[in-house]
Chain A
Amino acid sequence: MKQLIKRELIALWNDPWQLALVSYIPLVGIFGLWWLFSAGLPRELPVAIVDQDQSQISRMLVRRLQANSVITPIHYQDINSAKASMESAETYAMVVLPFQLNRDLLTGHQPTIDIRYNSQYLLVGKLLSSQIQLSLADGLKSKALLKQLAAGVPMAQAEVNLNLVKTQVSALYNANSNYVVFLLPPILLALGQLLAMLVFANSLNRELRQETMTEWFSLGTRRVLWAKMLVYTPLIVLQGRLILTLLYQYLGLPLAGVFGQLLLAQIVMLLAVWLLVLTIFFLLQDAARVISFCTALFAPAFPFMGITFPTQEMPQLAQWWRKLMPSSHYIDTHVGVVSYGQDFAVFVQQVTSYWGFLLLVPVIVVLARRVRREWSAEASTQPMNEAP
């Protein structure tokens, strides 16, 4: 066994791309994606303001918008130029403060403030819509308070009248709705799964490329596979540990459970990935096609995890496809450990959801035997062809 592990390590050392996949590429990837989202909380997003009233109250409302950390108001002279700025994504929303807003308010009419937000950029648009409404409503409240006071309502009562039903909202498990907490774990998991798939597929493909398949079979099919798993599983889990360290120790994101379960869950996930890659490898037996197929399978893992778009809202077909992805099984454990601090019994239950992958084992055995026969047939015919 030692000999086989050494064989694997030497091969790793002699393949610069494989070496890159287990060393600096994960580092660059993890750091780059974290840097991309490092702002965490959306802020100072440009919003077009068309102030047609130019009154004291319209300016007060703009100041309220300015005071919101998410919004940066940018003034436009007319609606058309504001619209053009929205169409070219220079601003993500626009607020039209209508002509005679102040006068209508004073004379008891009901003016309308129009808000348009860019829902093509859904995340930004929805956030701005709620923030703009919050800020404006708050500004209008202070106006209504004055009105009540003028009508002779005592201060204490007037305030209650305005906020009869107060709300207290808690975002559980992610107190300030931070996008780093929300998006970074599934994204890095998707990246980690891709790296794991590539590393393992490359180590299998190497035997094809260097035509060492017969050597592999003579060394013992299973023993070489065990050696590969023993070399690559710890290397990939190390990357997983690095991701966990970055997220929950260096960045200090909230963590309710313990790492132990997560590392175990990563090992189980990797075994499932290995099984999928092995099936494809023995089925196709061509380096470029193996990679293409694995890519097709694993590339869209992220949307199927169910973090950005909830699982139970997906069509049935998508939910089945989701079960094919080891990462979607892992993410349930991840959320459970990180947010709910689940105990070990729940984890054991989650691991049983991988049972479907075990069906691949007999398939792999059959395919491997077939490949082995083909290679031995080729090895025995070749000398005969060359002999005469």
Chain B
Amino acid sequence: MDFWSLMWADFKSIVTDKAIAITLFGGVLFYSVLYPLPYLHEVPTKQQIVVVDGDHSSLSRQLIRHADASPKLEVVAELNNINQAEDWIASGRAHGYMVIPEGFRRDLIRQKGVTLAYGGDANYFLIYSAVLEGLVSAGIDAGKYVQFNGLLARGSSAKQVKHDLEPIKLNSVPAFNPSLGYTPYVVPGVLLLVLHQTLLIGAGILGAGQWGREGYWQQVPAMKLIFARVSVFALIYSLFTSFYVGFCNYWYGVSVQGVLSQVVLFLVPFVICTAIAGVAFSCMFTRRDLPTQVLLLISMPILFVSGFIWPFELIPSPLIWIAQVIPAIPSIQGMLQLNQMGASWSSVAGFWWQLWGLALVYLLLAYLGVRYRLNSK
């Protein structure tokens, strides 16, 4: 059997095997829609808050109007006390509250300090931060407004007053994901993980169904089988990878800063290394329903250890060391830096070499594994 017909035979068994075809073609398409689906609205807006107004003055009403005008907030009710506010939050009718103390306006005009109390439901961090950002900026504005008028009344010039209130400007700007959207944050990393997992599953089911049975795979040397299989998977997955990194990133509005040639260069060892790892991994199984189960269980840990959700600085180092053997980890890190954060090639070269190194190690393992599986009938 020559190399091409071996590749063709492998390709045919991938496409005709329903379990593999569903995972590869179905899974890759399905997940490209399903994973970004919850995040399509990007940022939480119009979070419901309730207000406890103890002052009932012109200024407190202005503050409430300003809070309501914030894109992040929507004032849904004015309540009498803070216990009612907590009831509203516990029943899910509101996610935050603001308490304006009695004498708010009078104290501000008399240059006495006042305290505004904010609270938010910290069960949901994204809602909580939206509520707080909205409330804090509304509160600061109200204070500034009073100070501004007070200083003007005492005879300072408008320009001078502005400067006194804000001697230094803090210009805080998000880099790499300018809209602070959730899709650009999650999609690039998760989609790479989907590619990685479905490839390993596909190769795993294919191998597990063949070992110990008669077929074309018995008639060729181990190394030839490995190279043919890796080539087939690499070809299929270069299409999938192009679809994900090319089209999906564009479709979901992910900020892309990489140079095309460098991105392609980086993805080559990702696909090859994962395909070899898939063949090596398949040697661990003889039951076709097991590879999916193992990979399903380690998907979430891989995602969380890949460093873009929970920073590396906070992950216990033994976990990071163990994770380095998984091709997805250097790939996700490298791709985020190269393609999303615009890093130079030299700063991701380490990940690139790591992938090639892993490919070699998995090639050895695949050789030992496939030889063992082909010899033991």
Contacts and interface: CB of A to CB of B under 8 A. Distances in A.
A46 B297 CA distance: 32
Main secondary structure of the interface of A (DSSP, over half): helix
B123 A295 contact: no
Given A17-B290, A113-B171, A309-B182, A120 B176 contact: yes
A42 B116 CA distance: 27
Given A87-B343, A114-B171, A205-B289, A29 B115 contact: no
Interface in A304-322: 304, 306-310, 313-315, 317-318, 321-322
Nearest to B141: A165
Given A165-B108, A202-B289, A177 B125 contact: yes
Contacts of A157: 111
Contacts of A111: 168-169
B243 interface: no
Contacts of B45: 313
A310 to B, nearest CB: 5
Contacts of B209: 288
A171 interface: yes
Contact of A120 (B40, B129, B185, B290): B185
Contacts of B292: 288, 291-292, 295
A158 B174 CA distance: 34
Interface stretch (A126-134, A243-251, A266-274): A126-134
A289 B22 contact: yes
Interface residues of A, number: 112
Contact of B316 (A38, A115, A190): A38
A113 B182 contact: no
A101 B169 CA distance: 11
A37 B310 contact: yes
Contacts of B86: 172
Contact of B313 (A46, A120, A191, A335): A46
A317 B18 contact: no
B309 interface: yes
Contact of B180 (A119, A165, A170, A286): A119
A190 B296 CA distance: 11
A160 B111 contact: yes
Interface in B65-124: 86, 89-91, 108, 111-124
A53 to B, nearest CB: 12
Interface residues of B, number: 105
Contact of A289 (B19, B120, B293, B311): B19
A321 B37 contact: yes
Nearest to B309: A123
Interface stretch (A6-14, A136-144, A227-235, A358-366): A136-144
A167 B336 CA distance: 38
A265 to B, nearest CB: 16
Interface in B234-249: none
Contacts of B175: 86, 116-120
Contact of A340 (B90, B117, B205, B255): B90
B129 to A, nearest CB: 7
A66 interface: no
A122 B182 contact: yes
Given A157-B111, A172-B120, A300 B31 contact: yes
Given A110-B166, A314-B38, A336-B90, 11 more contacts: A87-B341, A88-B348, A157-B111, A165-B139, A166-B115, A169-B132, A190-B300, A292-B19, A300-B31, A300-B34, A318-B40
- A-B residue pairs, 3 tightest by C-beta: A165-B143, A119-B174, A288-B19
20 contacts: A25-B297, A45-B313, A117-B175, A118-B341, A119-B175, A124-B311, A140-B167, A144-B167, A165-B142, A166-B115, A171-B122, A172-B89, A173-B123, A182-B123, A205-B289, A291-B289, A293-B22, A310-B124, A318-B40, A336-B90
